[in-house]
């Protein structure tokens, strides 16, 4: 089985032993505590589940700047994005060496993790600008990832953590939320060797479905992991429960039995385009996938990134940085000439009019009016779930 990133075995930071976790929770109640940001809470969940292997906690200023600049920590660990716990006001934990991190996304702000504080450092305007420019490729506050990063504060609290729970993700998505440990175990139990991972924050239309079939067929894969983001999105994105229902219906009807694992992870979307594509590859290697589909404008938003920037970044990272292989996908669409979904780059004799192409805005309008998109664009059973959702917004 493929090794995790940066180590021989996966080292999740969730405290598995019940007695140890209970003792830690009890200790946490007497520790100085701070409510962290949603982004930092997502980082804790990902650290807990093993997705951020080999990290042992939140990065300090030097590591964050190094990672932003050249995708390596100060000690040389390859990592594509800073993993930070940034707060507005650290006065509640001033001088403390051990603290409790409280969850901003759960009522009552229960303790999410216990942290050993190595440093509390203020990030300067220059630091913030360097990180946003390098990671997001822009400092434009209209970019949702930049706006989120700039809004959480300037004080970076660094050090190792021990994770006590997975926030709201286990409770709200019991059938879908899975840690990297759980997915790796399931892949092993199924006896899969070659495994393709597909990232999504949206429902999957026919083109996405066919792209997964193409990747599996061309790679000779044993199985597919559809891995959906369950954390915070930008306004207008479809909620995770609706997306989950649509994807499950598609897999049930249009994939062979036992060929797909449907799962999700607890993290807030960065919309960081190329850098986030590399981060997504790290997640998938840690969960046991050997191949990862990177499509056109992967993890992008607006017009901030070129169509294939998220693929081309993999040509710039060191050859030994990751073991997972990238399946590079072009835009896929239904060909009226061939009566099937194809990658547009593989149909050179086609014009735009030879494809069934609909904008996201057009599709949302149709769904909101109770009009199903054409069968060449979306499976009718999937469209029905989405129509019900959009029409519920109009009531």
Q: Which of 294, 324, 293 is CA-nearest to residue 310?
A: 294
In a 13 Å sphere around the CA of 286, the CA atoms on its Cβ side amount to 29
Q: Which of 34, 13, 28, 24 is CA-nearest to residue 101?
A: 34
Percentages (nearest 5) of helix, strand, coil residues in the chain:
40, 20, 45
The answer to whether residue 275 is catalytic is: no
Of the candidates 11, 154, 202, 248, the residue annotated as catalytic is 202
The answer to whether residue 129 is catalytic is: no
Q: Which of 259, 182, 263, 184 is CA-nearest to residue 228?
A: 263
Of the candidates 21, 154, 190, 201, the residue annotated as catalytic is 201
At residue 284, φ and ψ (nearest 5 deg) are: -70, -35
Beta strands in the chain (DSSP E): 33-35, 57-58, 86-87, 98-102, 111-116, 119-122, 155-163, 195-200, 223-229, 260-265, 291-294, 325-328, 332-335, 340-343, 355-356
Helix axes 38-49, 180-190, angle to 10 degrees: 40
Report how far residue 253's alpha carbon sits from residue 381's, in angstroms, rounded to the nearest whole number.
9
Contact 161/115 with Cβ under 8 angstroms?
A: yes
Burial 37-49, CB ≥16 within 10 A → b, else e: bbbbbbbbbbbbb
What Rg do the C-alpha atoms of the chain give, in angstroms? 21
Q: What angle do CA 287, 289, 291 make, to 5 degrees?
A: 145
How crowded is residue 270: how many other Cβ atoms within 10 Å of its Cβ? 23
Report how far residue 110's alpha carbon sits from residue 112's, in angstroms, rounded to the nearest whole number.
6
Active site residues: 201-202
């Amino acid at each position: 089985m493929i090794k995790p990133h940066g180590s021989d075995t996966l080292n999740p930071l969730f405290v598995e032993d019940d007695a140890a976790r209970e003792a830690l929770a009890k200790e946490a109640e007497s520790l100085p505590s701070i409510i962290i940001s949603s982004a930092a809470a997502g980082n804790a969940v990902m650290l807990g589940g093993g997705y951020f292997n080999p990290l042992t906690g939140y990065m300090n200023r030097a590591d964050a700047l190094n990672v932003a600049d050249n995708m390596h920590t100060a000690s040389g660990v390859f990592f594509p994005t800073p993993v930070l716990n940034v707060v507005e006001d650290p006065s509640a934990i001033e001088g403390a060496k051990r603290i409790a991190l409280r969850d901003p996304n759960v009522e009552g702000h229960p303790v999410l993790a216990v942290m050993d504080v190595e440093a509390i450092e203020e990030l300067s305007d220059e630091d913030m600008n360097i990180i946003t420019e390098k990671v997001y490729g822009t400092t434009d506050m209209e970019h949702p990832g930049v706006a989120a990063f700039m809004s959480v504060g300037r004080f970076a609290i660094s050090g190792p953590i021990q994770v006590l729970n997975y926030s709201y993700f286990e409770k709200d998505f019991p059938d879908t939320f899975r840690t990297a440990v759980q997915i790796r175990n399931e892949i092993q139990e199924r006896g899969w060797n070659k495994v393709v991972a597909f990232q999504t924050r949206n429902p999957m239309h026919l083109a996405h479905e066919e792209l997964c079939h193409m990747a599996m067929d061309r790679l000779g894969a044993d199985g597919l992991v559809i891995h959906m983001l369950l954390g915070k999105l930008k306004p207008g994105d479809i909620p995770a429960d609706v997306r989950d229902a649509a994807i499950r219906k598609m897999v049930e009807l249009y994939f062979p039995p036992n060929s797909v694992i449907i799962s999700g992870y607890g993290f807030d979307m960065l919309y960081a385009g190329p850098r986030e594509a590399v981060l997504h590859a790290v997640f998938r290697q840690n969960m046991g996938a050997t191949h990862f589909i990177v499509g056109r404008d992967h993890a992008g938003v607006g017009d901030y990134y070129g169509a294939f920037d998220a693929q081309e970044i993999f040509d710039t990272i060191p050859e030994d940085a990751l073991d997972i292989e990238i399946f590079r996908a072009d835009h896929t669409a239904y060909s009226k000439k061939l009566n099937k979904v194809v990658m547009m780059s593989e149909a050179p004799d086609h014009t735009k009019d030879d494809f069934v192409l609909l904008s996201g805005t057009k599709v949302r309008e149709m769904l909101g009016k109770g009009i199903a998109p054409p069968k060449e664009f979306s499976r009718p059973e999937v469209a029905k779930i989405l129509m019900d959702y959009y029409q519920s917004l109009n009531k």
